[in-house]
Homo-oligomer: A and B are copies of this chain.
């Protein structure tokens, strides 16, 4: 257990994008293995805050800063960024596919590709065709996986994952858990990696 970093993220979350692009590289350098944990922020915001929209949309002053901040973070990390025309995008299907990716071992490249589609290519990751195309692009059977992810068998898993996130005390994304300790925000990655409990 001690060599694991849990990385909790929502595919619609702006700050999750740069975190997803560097978490594995930095965790590996620190001798840790990343457990990728896609979940949904929407139901958590709804239960904790009673709101349906992103906090960045609810406070436009904060939203304006967030876009600038994410742009700066991406520039500093050398990753492409194009402000999505819609925020937040529906990340339900993306997360459901992600849960299959955990089982099958392709969650990391899939997550990076899907984040890139949303935040560097302004593609609507809420659309099944886009998710399927991203999967095809990394050599996976997109159509088949999207169909499986939306099947009656698979659907309850994401709700359970999100409930689990809430039990862990999560209230935003990205978040990291290291030896039972919660860290919120991409800027806490180094602290989480160094955490000795």
Inter-chain contact A61/B184, CB cutoff 8 Å: no
Interface residue count on the A side (C-beta < 8 Å) = 24
Question: What 1/0 flags go to A158-197 for Cβ under 8 Å of B?
Answer: 0000000010011110000000001111011001000000
Nearest B-chain residue to A194, judged by Cβ: B76
Tell me, in angstroms, the Cα distance from A68 to B175 when the chains sit together: 14
A72 at the interface (CB under 8 A from B): yes
A58 at the interface (CB under 8 A from B): yes
**Chain A: interface secondary structure?**
helix
Inter-chain contact A184/B49, CB cutoff 8 Å: no
Inter-chain contact B48/A172, CB cutoff 8 Å: no
17 extra A-B contacts, CB within 8 A, seeds A61-B166, A69-B184, A69-B188 = A48-B62, A49-B58, A49-B59, A61-B169, A61-B170, A61-B171, A62-B171, A62-B172, A64-B169, A65-B169, A65-B171, A65-B184, A72-B191, A76-B191, A185-B187, A187-B187, A187-B188
Supply 26 A–B pairs (Cβ within 8 Å), ascending by A: A48-B59, A48-B61, A48-B62, A49-B58, A49-B59, A59-B171, A61-B166, A61-B169, A61-B170, A61-B171, A62-B171, A62-B172, A64-B169, A65-B169, A65-B171, A65-B182, A65-B184, A68-B182, A69-B183, A69-B184, A69-B188, A72-B191, A76-B191, A185-B187, A187-B187, A187-B188
